[in-house]
């Protein structure tokens, strides 16, 4: 089996392309199932965040799987209009290193942010529910989670958690010297909205309104921070009275259009409004930038701001990269030994069967005792050769030694006879 990954992210594509390849959380399971249905794809999982859409598969045939991935990525996920030149592909160990770096937030727009690990776990759970996650991807994700845990606990990278939303708040601070007395609108009631709300509160804001499609969710978030809640139908009224809006609601198209904002601005009598768009697809229509007294920051602007903050967190990165490299090596050793599994299983069964036949003559032992004795003898007899076999596999000689063992013990001959 060969690992293959195809995707695009904040490093390869701007937000206007990423939004055309965005995947809603409830689509992950179905898409994973469809990718895994291809005859040359054994396992599949999809990773979807505001900054990346990536498909990883365990392939039976590399070239056929690559073609299936490219076709499925642009036809099932994208709209087919653009993005092909902004995708990237990884194969083999490159996939492992990439996924481990993603889990450890080393590949994030904001290095050290905490949300990505939860999003990766969502991808894994969706693949498990779709029955598209077999032994290779299961091990890959589990080792990625282990790498992330080590980076978080053994380096200073997670000591002061940051997030995309918090960086958005920093950008907002370039427009308003203080948020005291400013009316703040949160569009959306999810994790991103809560992170932005905390950042704004820490910066002095106290007047909050949470607007969401589901009012109950808006109310739960608003009540925790002493704010108000409103439904999406009240958006125009609420945006008209807001000084700052953080937008992170899940939508198919922008909900803050040019005409709506123009009407809201007329009610504000020239007072400026700041919109921080954290959504993919975008919540704010790009045409809004043409309006006077409207300041819009989107994820591409946040990427530029995050790049400056990356330098301050850089001291912990080399140590984190070393941890990732160690975990990649451990996974690759496990993967190199995979071809040995059928041979080891068959050899154990062969030896144990022979021992059980011999012990059957020992009439003093009942069936259960004979079975236990046979298992103990099998483990003892095979311990040294199997340990050597695994070590040779880790050095890349696994297929050669597996073939030698099958020949030495006549395992191939039995298959032909049966």
Helix 115-129 and helix 28-36: axis angle, to 10°? 50
Q: In what order do the strands lie in the sheet with 52-59?
A: 41-49, 52-59, 2-9, 88-91
Tokens 């996939």 found at: 95
Active site residues: 50
Torsion of CA 215, 18, 44, 331, to 10 degrees: -110
For the CA atoms of 247, 248, 252, 254, what is the dihedral angle to 10 degrees? 10
Please classify residue 380 by burial: count the beta carbons closer than 10 Å to its beta carbon, then call 0-12 exposed, 13-18 middle and 19+ buried: exposed
CA 241 to chain centre: 37
As a whole number of angstroms, the distance between CA 412 and CA 87 comes to 44
Helices (H), 79-172: 93-103, 115-129, 135-154, 164-172
Burial of 196 (0-12, 13-18, 19+ CB in 10 A): buried
Q: Are 271 and 293 spatial neighbours (Cβ–Cβ below 8 Å)?
A: yes
Task: Give exposure, 284-309, as e/b (b: 16+ Cβ within 10 Å).
Answer: bbeebeeeeebbbbbbebbbebbeeb
Two tokens, residue 280: 């993919």
């Amino acid at each position: 089996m060969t690992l293959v990954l195809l995707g695009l992210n904040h490093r390869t594509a701007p937000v206007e392309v990423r939004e055309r390849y965005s995947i809603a959380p409830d689509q992950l399971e179905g898409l994973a199932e469809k990718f895994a249905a291809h005859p040359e794809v054994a396992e599949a999982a999809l990773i979807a965040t505001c900054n990346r859409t990536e498909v990883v598969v365990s392939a039976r045939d590399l070239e056929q799987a690559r073609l299936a991935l490219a076709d499925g990525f642009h036809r099932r996920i994208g709209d087919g209009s653009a993005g092909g030149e902004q995708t990237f592909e990884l194969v083999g160990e490159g996939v492992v290193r990439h996924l481990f770096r993603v889990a450890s937030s080393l590949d994030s727009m904001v290095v050290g942010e905490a949300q990505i690990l939860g999003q990766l776990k969502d991808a894994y759970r969706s693949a498990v529910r779709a029955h598209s996650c077999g032994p290779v991807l299961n091990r890959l994700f589990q080792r990625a989670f282990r790498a992330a845990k080590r980076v978080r606990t053994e380096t200073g990278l997670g000591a002061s958690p940051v997030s995309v939303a918090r960086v958005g708040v920093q950008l907002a601070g370039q427009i308003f010297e203080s948020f005291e007395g400013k009316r703040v609108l949160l569009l959306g009631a999810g994790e991103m909205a809560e992170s932005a709300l905390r950042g704004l509160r820490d910066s002095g804001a106290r007047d909050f309104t949470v607007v969401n499609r589901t009012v109950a969710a808006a109310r739960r978030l608003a009540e925790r921070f002493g704010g108000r809640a409103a439904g999406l139908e009240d958006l125009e009224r609420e945006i008209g009275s807001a000084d700052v809006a953080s937008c992170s609601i899940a939508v198919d198209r922008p909900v803050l259009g040019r005409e709506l904002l123009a009407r809201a601005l007329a009610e504000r009598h020239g007072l400026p409004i700041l919109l921080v768009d954290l959504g993919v697809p975008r919540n704010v229509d790009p045409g809004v930038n043409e309006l006077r007294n409207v300041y819009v920051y989107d994820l591409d602007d946040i990427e530029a701001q995050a790049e400056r903050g990356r330098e301050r967190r850089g001291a912990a990165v080399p140590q984190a990269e070393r941890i990732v490299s160690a975990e990649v090596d451990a996974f690759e050793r496990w993967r190199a030994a995979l071809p040995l599994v059928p041979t080891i299983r068959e050899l154990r069964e062969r030896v144990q069967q022979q021992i059980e036949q011999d012990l059957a003559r020992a009439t003093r032992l009942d069936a259960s005792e004979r079975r236990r004795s046979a298992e103990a003898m099998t483990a003892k007899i095979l311990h040294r050769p199997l340990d050597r076999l695994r070590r040779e596999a880790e050095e890349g000689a696994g297929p050669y030694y597996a073939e030698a063992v099958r020949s030495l013990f006549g395992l191939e001959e039995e298959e032909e006879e049966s």
